[in-house]
Amino acid sequence: MGLGIIAGLKFIAPALLYASTLVVAILCLSGRVRIGLYFLIPLYPLQNVVMKLHPFPLGKDLNDILLICMLIGWALSASMRREKFNQRTAYTGLLILTGLYTYFALWKGSLFLGAELPFNIHDPRVQAWKNYLTFPLLFFMVLNNIKNRKHVTWMLGALMASMFLMDYYTVDQIRNAGSIESRTRFSGTFSWLGPNEVAAFYSSYTFILIALFFYIKTKWMRLATLALSLMNTYCVLFLYSRGAYVAFGAGMALLALFRKRWLLIPLIVLALNWQTLLPQSVLERINQTQDEYGQLDASVEKRLEMWNQSMLLFQYDPIFGSGFNIFPHLGFALGDTHNIYLKFLAEQGLIGFSLLFILLIMSMRSGWKLFRGAKDPLLKALGLGFFLCTVSLIIGNFFGDRWTHLPLGAFFWVLLGMVERGRIIIAQEEKEEKEGKSPDLSNVMKQEAKKRIVKPWNTAVIERKQDLLS
C-alpha cells in the first residue's frame, strides 16, 4: 500500500511541478520576483527532476520563461515603487564588461572554427553563452530582490532544501554503486555531469552549512545544518574525486586556522594517519594517481595532454584567445581542459582570464568583509561560509570546469548576491547610527506613539470611574 502511494506520487509529481511552474511564472509577472527565486534556484542542481518536465509543452524552456517573467516583474515592481532598477555595486561594471567580452569571444570562436556566425539561438555555442550569462543575471536578481535578513533566511532555507534532496538521491546512488569502477555511471542529480562535478558542488557549498552551524544559535537550525553537513561530507568522501578532497581539505584548514582552532587537532591527526583512518576504497582512489610501476593514471595522462593543447591555443592568441567555448568542438577525447584557468587562457586569452581572476578575488574579499563587519550571526555565517566556499571553488577549478555549468555554479552567484546585499544592509545601519537614527529607533518610536494614543483613552476611563464612585 505504502509503495503504491509513493509510486502514485512519483507519477503525478512532474505534472504538479509543471503546474506550479506556470503559477510561479504568473506571480513573477505580478512583481513577486522573490517567489520565483525561491522556486527556481533550488531546481538548478536537481536536473534529474527538471528533465521530467521536458515532455510537457515548452518544458525544455521553463527555466528561460521563468527568468524572463522575473525580469519583467522586477522592472514593473521597481517602476511602480519608484525604486532603482539595479543597485550598483563594485561588480556591476565588471559583469557588464564580462558579458560584452564573452560575446566578442563567441564571434571570435565562430571564425576560428569556421562555423556559422553566432546568430542562431539553437547553436550549441550560443546556448552555452546564454547559459553563462544566466550567472550574472541571477546575481543581479538576488541583489535587488533579496532585501533583508528575512529574505536571506528564506533563500538559505531554499538552498538547504535543495541540498537535502540532492543528498537523498546521491547517497542512494553511492550505496548502490558498490565499487570505485562503477563511479563512471554516477551522475547524482546533475544528469549529464559526472561524480567529479557533484563532488565539487559538495566540497564548496558545504562550508555555508558549516558556518551556519557555528554561528546560528537556534537549536533546530543547528541540528539541520549539522545533519546536512555530515551527509554532504559523506558524499564528498565516497564520490572519489581527488580534486574535491584537496578543495574540501583546504577549506577546512582555513576554517580551523582563522576561526575554530580546535579543528586543527582532528585535521592534524587525519593528515598524519590518513592511510589508517580513511576507508579502503578512498585510499585506493587516492593511490590511483600512479600505478604499481610509477606510471601516471590514464585520466591524469589525458588531462596533461589537454593542458598542453590549451597552452598551444593560448600561444596562438595570448591576448584575446581562440574563442568562447571552442574546446567541445575540437574533437579531443576529453572535450575539455579539466582546468578552468587554462580553459580561459586558451579560449578568452589574458583579458578573459583577468576578468575571471578579478571576480574571484573580489568574491573572497566580499565574503571576508561581510564576516568581519557583521554583528548579526546570520550575516556573519554567510560571509565566512562564502569566503571558504570561494576558496574551495578556486582550488577545485584547477582540476576541472567547476565554473560554467549551471547546476554547479548557480548557487555561487546567488550567494554572492546575498553577500553583497548583506554588506549593503550593514552599510545602511552604520549610516543610520552615525546620523543618530539607530536601526531599532523606528520600533521604539512606534511603541511610544502607541503609548501616547492609548494614554488619553485610559485617563478618560479612570476619570469616569471616579465620577461614578463619587
pLDDT tens by residue, 352-406? 999 999 999 999 999 999 999 999 999 999 999 999 999 999 999 999 899 999 9
155 or 468: which carries more pLDDT confidence? 155
How large is the angle between the packed helices 280-287 and 219-238, nearest 10 degrees? 50
Instruction: Please check the confidence at residue 221 and state whether its pLDDT lies above 80.
Output: yes
Residue given cell 513573477 in the structure block: 28
Distance CA 379, CA 224 (A): 18
Q: Domain boundary residue among 42, 61, 85?
A: 85
Q: For residues 324 and 416, state if they share a domain.
A: yes
Q: For residues 452 and 418, state if they share a domain.
A: no
Q: For residues 123 and 38, state if they share a domain.
A: no
C-beta neighbour count of 119 within 10 angstroms = 8
Q: For residues 147 and 25, state if they share a domain.
A: no
Q: For residues 423 and 282, state if they share a domain.
A: yes
Q: For residues 181 and 245, state if they share a domain.
A: yes
Q: Which residues of 420-435 are buried (b: 16+ CB within 10 A; e: fewer)?
A: bbbbebbeebeeeeee
Q: Are 356 and 136 in contact (CB under 8 A)?
A: no
Average pLDDT over residues 135-154: 95
Residue given cell 563511479 in the structure block: 183
Q: What's the mean per-residue pLDDT of the chain?
A: 86
Q: Are 383 and 367 in contact (CB under 8 A)?
A: yes
Q: Are 426 and 373 in contact (CB under 8 A)?
A: yes
pLDDT of residue 172: 87
Q: For residues 136 and 246, state if they share a domain.
A: yes
CA quadruple 174, 180, 186, 187: dihedral sign: positive
User: Nearest CA to 419 among 263, 260, 211?
Assistant: 211
Q: For residues 187 and 261, state if they share a domain.
A: yes
Highest-pLDDT range among 47-56, 176-185, 442-451: 47-56
Q: Domain range spanning residue 294?
A: 86-434
pLDDT digits (tens, 9 = 90+) for 69-83: 999 999 998 888 888
Distance CA 162, CA 39 (A): 10
Q: For residues 43 and 170, state if they share a domain.
A: no
Average pLDDT over residues 48-74: 93
Of 235-239, 296-300, 308-312, 387-391, least confident by mean pLDDT is 296-300
Distance CA 137, CA 71 (A): 9
152 or 438: which carries more pLDDT confidence? 152
Residue 227: exposed, middle, or buried by beta-carbon count in 10 A (0-12, 13-18, 19+)?
middle
Q: Domain boundary residue among 85, 107, 142?
A: 85
**Helix boundaries (H) for 178-297:** 195-215, 219-238, 242-258, 264-277, 280-287
Q: Domain boundary residue among 66, 85, 104?
A: 85
Average pLDDT over residues 262-281: 83
User: Nearest CA to 423 among 71, 82, 146, 205?
Assistant: 146
Q: For residues 129 and 239, state if they share a domain.
A: yes
Instruction: Please check the confidence at residue 114 and state whether its pLDDT lies above 70.
Output: yes
Q: Are 290 and 297 in contact (CB under 8 A)?
A: yes
- Contacts for 107-113: CB closer than 8 Å, 24+ residues apart: 107/323, 108/320, 108/321, 108/322, 108/323, 108/324, 109/322, 109/323, 109/324, 109/325, 109/326, 109/347, 110/323, 111/323, 112/322, 112/323, 112/326, 113/323, 113/326, 113/329
3-state secondary structure of 296: strand
Average pLDDT over residues 325-349: 87
- Output the CA–CA distances (angstroms, integers) from residue 451 to 111, 437, 443, 459, in the order listed: 74, 21, 13, 12
Average pLDDT over residues 263-280: 83
Confidence band (pLDDT; 50, 70, 90) for 3? very low
Distance CA 436, CA 445 (A): 13
Average pLDDT over residues 209-226: 93
Length of the chain (residues): 470
Confidence band (pLDDT; 50, 70, 90) for 449? very low
Confidence band (pLDDT; 50, 70, 90) for 455? very low
Instruction: Please check the confidence at residue 464 and state whether its pLDDT lies above 60.
Output: no
Confidence band (pLDDT; 50, 70, 90) for 260? confident
Question: Domain tally for the chain?
Answer: 3
- Rounded to two decimals, what is the model's pTM? 0.88
Confidence band (pLDDT; 50, 70, 90) for 289? low
Of 180-189, 267-276, 365-374, least confident by mean pLDDT is 180-189
pLDDT of residue 456: 44
Confidence band (pLDDT; 50, 70, 90) for 10? low
Average pLDDT over residues 282-298: 62
User: Cell for 278?
Assistant: 580513511
Q: For residues 11 and 152, state if they share a domain.
A: no
Q: For residues 104 and 201, state if they share a domain.
A: yes
Average pLDDT over residues 93-115: 95
C-beta neighbour count of 341 within 10 angstroms = 17
Confidence band (pLDDT; 50, 70, 90) for 163? very high
